[in-house]
Structure formats: C-alpha cells, structure tokens
Amino acid sequence: MFLTPLQTLIMILAVALGCQLMRFLPFILFPEGKEIPGTVLYLGRVLPPAMIGFLVIYCIKGVSLLNSPHGIPEFSSLAVVFLLQHLRGNVMLSIAGGTAFYMFLMQAVFV
C-alpha cells in the first residue's frame, strides 16, 4: 500500500464523487415532478442506440490494425455475432457463438 489508509479512503471518495456526479446530474436537473424539456426527451430517445454503437467501439478501442494479428480475431468474431444475430435473432446464442469463436482464436490460433 503506497498511500495511508486515510489517503486511500479520500481517493476512493474522489473517484466515486466524479462518477456519481455524472450519474446523478441529469436526475438532479430534472427531478421527479418537473417537466423534462423536449430537447432532453429527444436526446433520451436518440442517445441509447447511439451509445450502444459507442460501447461497441469502446470495447474494441485497444485493437491494433498495424500489429499482428491486425484485429482479425476481433473483427471475424464480430462478424460471427452479426451473422448469428441475422440468422437466428437470439442475443444469447449470438453472444455465446461469437465469444466461443473468439476464445478459440485467441487460445488455439493466434497464440
């Protein structure tokens, strides 16, 4: 342990405060009983699909195209997920298939 217990506790609270501020701010600005402005409702409708796209990119942000294996495991496994989702439309099956394929590639092919 590098910091003292008190310093560590303050660090934990600082990290928590930064994160919780982001989580609570919209709910503090637009509390229950107060009407939500049209612009915010509109954002609440368009942001979720956009943020799911954000999260996919966020998950693969560390993939390097220049260095071996050039993102091949990630992109081919994503293709498996999309293909399964297109053929069967079962989220669980797509996740299981894509993840199993990725694990196989990472453990047996691109070791």
Partner 1 sequence: MNPIINDSKKAVQIKAALSAAFKATIPVFASAYILGVAYGVIMQSKGYNVFWSTLMSTVAFCGSMQFAAIPLLTSAFNPLQAFLLSVMVNARHLFYSISMLERYRGIGKIRYFLIYVLSDESFSISYALNDDKINRKYYYISVSSFVALYWIGGTFTGGLLGQVIPFDTTGLDFALTALFAAMLFDQIKNNQTRKAAVAGTLCTLVCLIAFGKGSFMIPAMALMLVIFLGGRKRSCF
Q: Are 98 and 57 in contact (CB under 8 A)?
A: no
Residues 20-39 touching partner 1, rule: CB under 8 A, are: 20-27, 30, 32, 36, 39
Contact between 49 and partner 1 by CB under 8 A: the answer reads yes
Euclidean distance between CA atoms 60 and 78, whole angstroms: 10
Nearer to partner 1 (CB atom), residue 1 or residue 68? 1
Q: Two tokens at 57?
A: 């990119």
What letter would DSSP give residue 36?
Answer: P
| Residue span 72-101 as binding mask against partner 1, x where in contact by CB under 8 A, dash where not | -xx--xx--xx--xx--x-xx-xx--xx--
